[in-house]
Chains A and B, each alone.
Chain A
Amino acid sequence: MSTEAKDIQIDPRGYRFGASVTLVVSIVALVLGANTAGIVAMGVLALLFLPGATIGPQATLQSWLFRRFIRPRIGAPAETESFRPPRFAQQMGLGFSLLAVLFGVLEIALGFYIFTGFVVAASFLNSVFGFCLGCEIYLLAKRATTRAA
């Protein structure tokens, strides 16, 4: 991942808009509960995460909506950011959403609520405070998963 040469700069406001879409969908899922409706909501969310987790956050439907309807009204961004940190966060989001769906299908309600709750918490931090939890966790995850030399 870090060996990729080409960096893409994205508008951080678009990514934050995407996080608010995630927040709304995951809150709907949490309130609907661990039943068919809630599982479908998390499944839709996983689909929304998929392009962001594989290509990058600039490839998502949320990003398209932002570019099409919001950016023309608010103008060019004052600063841009690398697409890599948010893409890593989208991979985490995809993983958690899929786990929520999996636990939901297996009728393990607690697992559904835990992973949906993670998505709610992370997207809340990102949309309201502009704080990327996935990016903060990256080093800890790397430290935990790589063996000491």
Chain B
Amino acid sequence: MLIRVLALAVLLGAVALGYRWWQGRQGTVRRVERPGALTASTLGDQPGERATFVQFSTPMCAKCPPTATLLKRVAAEQPHVSHIEIDAAERLDLARELHIMRTPTTLVLDAYGVVVARMDGAPSEQQAREALAAVPPPTEYSI
């Protein structure tokens, strides 16, 4: 009995530590350098002219709907930034290609559809803005 109680305490301690480590990574913005662009036909929707949040979700993901609401709000703050939500369970091809391991995972695309940043897990509002800042500012044209 005693050894099982001790094993239980060790199990719960390890799970709690694992959880803290995992949550610490939640939403962290990582800069990405990935050759090639994602096109409208791959994404199944029209990307933004300046930047795009591509959010991978599943129907089984509790944090996905609030993340979509947050990203839509952050995207609406700036012109020509859009939000596309993709069901990773339906688009397993894309999920494999882009190494989507958990949902929500959000990629940030620049004006050309090139992935410049990603957030694995639900981001905070600050993290969403930080990710969007990875997109270089629009070039000034003079005629």
Contact B15 A85, beta carbon cutoff 8 Å? no
- From B34-42, B73-81, B90-98, B107-115, the one touching the partner chain is B90-98
Give the size of the chain B interface in residues (CB under 8 angstroms).
29
Q: Is A69 an interface residue (CB 8 A)?
A: no
- Once bound together, how far apart are the Cα atoms of A124 and B11, in whole Å? 10
**A31-B1, A31-B5, A139-B101 known; A85-B61 Cβ under 8 A:** yes
Contact A125 B60, beta carbon cutoff 8 Å? no
- Once bound together, how far apart are the Cα atoms of A125 and B65, in whole Å? 21
Q: Is B132 an interface residue (CB 8 A)?
A: no
A2: shortest Cβ distance to chain B, in Å?
4
Q: Is B58 an interface residue (CB 8 A)?
A: yes
B24-42 interface with A by 8 A CB criterion: none
Contact B61 A27, beta carbon cutoff 8 Å? no
Q: Give which listed residue, A1, A132, A136, contacts B59 with CB less than 8 A.
A: A1
Chain A interface (Cβ < 8 Å from any Cβ of B)? 1-2, 12, 27, 30-31, 33, 81-82, 84-86, 88, 113, 117, 120-121, 124-125, 128-129, 131-132, 134-136, 138-140, 142-143, 146, 148-149
**A85-B60, A124-B12 known; A142-B1 Cβ under 8 A:** no
Q: Give which listed residue, A85, A139, A149, contacts B89 with CB less than 8 A.
A: A139
Q: Most chain-B CB neighbours within 10 Å: which of A82, A139, A146?
A: A139
Measured between beta carbons, the chain A residues less than 8 angstroms from B5 are: 31
Interface of A is mostly: helix
- 16 A-B residue pairs with Cβ-Cβ distance under 8 Å, sorted by A, are A12-B62, A27-B8, A31-B5, A84-B59, A84-B60, A85-B62, A88-B60, A124-B12, A124-B15, A129-B23, A135-B60, A136-B102, A138-B89, A139-B58, A139-B100, A139-B103
Measured between beta carbons, the chain B residues less than 8 angstroms from A86 are: 62
Measured between beta carbons, the chain A residues less than 8 angstroms from B101 are: 139-140
Q: Is B71 an interface residue (CB 8 A)?
A: no
Contact A138 B8, beta carbon cutoff 8 Å? no
